[in-house]
Amino acid sequence: MNRPPVGKITVIHGPMFSGKTEELLRRVRRAKIARKRVQLFKPAIDNRYHATQVLPHFLAQAADESVQVGEEAHVISHPREILPLVENETDIVAIEEAQFLDASLFDTIRRLSRAGKDLILSLLDQDYRRMPFPIAGSDRTVGDYLAIAHESLKLSAICVVCGEEAHHSQKLTLSGINGEGKPEYSPASFYSEVVTVGTSQELAQNKLFAEKKMDFPENIYEARCRYCHSVADEPK
Ligand SMILES: [Zn+2]
């Protein structure tokens, strides 16, 4: 029987600091050892550490243009850029931080799978309110990618407060500077901005901090368990 090829869709998901990037890169490297051809994509919004390489977070401190520990990635700002870049010989298409791309990625994934390409996605699955991460410009959430996956792997982080298993990303907002000149942070409001796609106030502020035009970042994130996670102004 002559069946058309179907690419396998794998989703790696979890909170921030749960090792999603490390797991994606581990799978990419294994595939390369198996002589598979892999193309890696990342959204332009995720340029926190390196412009064209995907780096695990623990290497972020050391990241600069000369660091070659990551894998070369196509930096894209829209899913429509993916299909024209995928080469015929490519076996696997890996997409890092896929939650930052708009909902047309859903169709792109299905088309690549139908063309016989395996897909590996890493996804932040919840926003800082513990809600399924919304996909910009649509009613979809990243849960839709889980629904069409053939395999999914949920990763957890470690709660920085109590050391238990963490499934949530805690957003903290700068609330003041104490007497010793140290910044004080408090849980972000339920109504503060969820970073989805494109430029945002938060990314602009983080850029100012990175350029040392601000003393402290406006927002910081930590992994936390459900008991230690909190959101200000959360509806009952
Ligand atoms: Zn905890």
CATH number, domain containing residue 123: 3.40.50.300
Same domain flag for 41 and 143 = yes
Same domain flag for 83 and 145 = yes
CA of 47 to the centre of ligand 1 (A): 29
In a domain, 121, yes or no: yes
Same domain flag for 174 and 147 = no
Q: Where a domain ends, among 112, 135, 156?
A: 156
Residues lining ion ligand 1 (Cβ < 5 A) are 159, 161-162, 164, 225, 228
CA of 98 to the centre of ligand 1 (A): 27
Query: Splitting the chain (236 residues) into consecutive groups of 10 residues, what average pLDDT does each group show?
Result: 89 95 94 96 66 49 44 90 97 94 94 97 94 89 96 97 97 90 91 57 62 76 95 91
Specify the pLDDT at position 5: 85
Same domain flag for 38 and 128 = yes
Q: Which amino acid is at 164?
A: E
d(Cα 7, Cα 120) in Å, to the nearest integer? 10
CA of 132 to the centre of ligand 1 (A): 20
Same domain flag for 105 and 171 = no
Same domain flag for 18 and 107 = yes
Q: Are 197 and 137 in contact (CB under 8 A)?
A: yes
CA of 164 to the centre of ligand 1 (A): 5
Q: How far, in Å, are 105, 152, 236 from residue 149 at the CA level?
A: 13, 6, 33
State the DSSP code for 214. S
Q: In 3-state terms, what secondary structure has residue 111? A: helix
In a domain, 230, yes or no: no
Extract the tokens encoding 140: 């979809």
CA of 219 to the centre of ligand 1 (A): 20
In a domain, 62, yes or no: yes
Q: Are 222 and 170 in contact (CB under 8 A)?
A: yes
In a domain, 170, yes or no: yes
In a domain, 205, yes or no: yes
In a domain, 139, yes or no: yes
Same domain flag for 95 and 170 = no
Q: Are 218 and 176 in contact (CB under 8 A)?
A: no
In a domain, 176, yes or no: yes
Domain membership of residue 180 as a residue range: 165-224
Same domain flag for 185 and 213 = yes
Residues labelled catalytic? 97
pLDDT in tens, 31-79: 999 999 999 999 886 545 444 555 555 444 444 433 345 678 999 989 9
List all residues 6 or more positions away from 63 whose beta carbon is below 8 Å from its beta carbon: 49, 50, 55
Q: How many domains does the chain have?
A: 2
> What's the whole-model pTM score?
0.85
